[in-house]
A = this chain, B = another copy of it.
Amino acid sequence: MAKQAGSTIRSVRGSRTGRPIMALLDLLGRRWSLRILWELRGEPLTSRALRTACDEASPTVLQARLSELREAGFVELGDAGGYRLTPLGRELCETFMPLHRFAERWKR
């Protein structure tokens, strides 16, 4: 499912509860979602650059996630090519930016 950008996406788990946080947690809980947002926090990246940044994750999933994140309004495809965060996506990214500091302290 979730074939191409703009088409249907598997209904986000938890959205039926009507609680947006559940839908958001589910979307962000899919593999590579968080990582993609994280890697896009800086400059726009082409699909291949993003793939490289994400440890060579398979393009299949990357495209799926990008489609979902685009439909959610967090990511967009720039005119000159390359993916980048929308203002909304940037806001979301800022939201869990403190994770960075936390992770550094966690560092098992």
Residues of A participating in the B interface, judged by any CB pair closer than 8 Å: 13-14, 17, 20-26, 28-35, 38, 55, 72-73, 88, 91-92, 95-96, 98-100, 102-104, 106-108
Contact = CB atoms under 8 A, between A and B. Distances in A.
Nearest to A101: B95
* Majority DSSP secondary structure for residues of A touching B: helix
B30 A31 contact: yes
A14 B55 contact: yes
Contacts of A99: 21, 24-25, 92, 95-96
B92 A20 contact: no
Given A29-B35, A34-B28, A21 B96 contact: no
Nearest to A21: B103
